[in-house]
Structure 1
């Protein structure tokens, strides 16, 4: 009986003493650890942000989810950012996924915006960044719209102006599209145009 109690105590200790590893400046090489947003970088990007140009607008909501299971190739826990968006062009709504952030998806990759790459000074993607500057790189997808060959991603960076909280967004793809010979792709672009946007924090 005493042996059983000791084993239970040891198992409980291992469960609750799981190693915490900062996400920032760490690859996901270890298993059975908790990759944590130790410096609370994600908190600076959460909330609803909006870009407006006449009757064209882009609204993005970002939320932080803590200690999410990762089971692809390796098992570990991680903090992530998830999000949704709404794009209106010339007064016409082209796409709206904002409601999806309210659901607990079976897979984090089911969210239209998701990821947890924190980029700082010295990185190829953060040239000219100050010592405390951070960028967040997130994956992008659009429901029911696949564009062959494109690998879209969103880079977010704080760009406050006085007391006005702002986010600079660079929306791009890491690869070019392709066409299969004899096959006309259904889509060649996403509803949101690639480019740069300056979004303002909403109340």
Structure 2
């Protein structure tokens, strides 16, 4: 009898654990059960992992992505999720290095906001920014974008990515867009003026090559 009870408890526990694994792109965070795991079940994020480079003359952009599985999101959400996180180096057209946060990717932060790029929603073609050149059925990934020097509490941008293969070359198509403008107020203290006015990387479209 004791063995039967233990077996029933084990089966119930196993079913309960499996029920907590949900597809990250089919579940709203507001509808996520406590301690559930929002999993990238189709490995959609995997295609972006690695190092990607854009170069035009002296202008140079290098972006690196890694996937962190079962990343803990604390209160008030309190669930696990798979996230794509990234960092970048940008050198402007004059050959001046403006940003280099690549080393930050080596740190296992427990706060997602400590990364300068982290994944958000999957975007279909009728979602902003529109992509008239994208083939029907294209799915893009919205990456939240920041810069280490940004001390403004409102300035934010989106780094929307999709992977393509052109003439046998693996590429990352990027739409870099402004999400919200600066408020002039500091992240650390609303009553203190911010000093940062805009991102060093110019807004626009970029094509990066897989390294």
The interval holding the TM-score normalised by the smaller chain is 0.7 to 0.9
For 1:65-97, what per-residue CA distance to the aligned partner results, in whole angstroms no more than 9, with x for missing partners? Answer: 111111131211110000000011222211101
Answering whether residue 67 of structure 2 is matched by residue 64 of structure 1, we say yes
- Structure 2 residue aligned with 1:119: 123
Q: 2 CA distance for matches of 1:21 and 1:126?
A: 28
- Structure 2 residue aligned with 1:188: 197
Q: How many pairs were matched up?
A: 201
- Alignment check: 8 A CA contact 1:41 1:134 kept: no
- Structure 1 residue aligned with 2:76: 73
Q: 1:26 to 1:122 in 2, by over 3 A?
A: farther
RMSD: 2.7
Q: 1:179 to 1:109 in 2, by over 3 A?
A: closer
- Structure 2 residue aligned with 1:26: 27
SS of residue in 1 equivalent to 2:165: coil
- Structure 1 residue aligned with 2:207: 198
Q: Which runs of 5+ in 1 are unaligned?
A: none
- Structure 2 residue aligned with 1:82: 85
For 1:40-84, what per-residue CA distance to the aligned partner results, in whole angstroms no more than 9, with x for missing partners? Answer: 111111110011010110000011111111113121111000000
For 1:115-140, what per-residue CA distance to the aligned partner results, in whole angstroms no more than 9, with x for missing partners? Answer: 23212244344555545421111111
TM-score, normalised to structure 2, is 0.81
TM-score, normalised to structure 1, is 0.84
Shift of 1:157: 1.4
Runs of 4+ off more than 3 Å: 2-16, 121-132
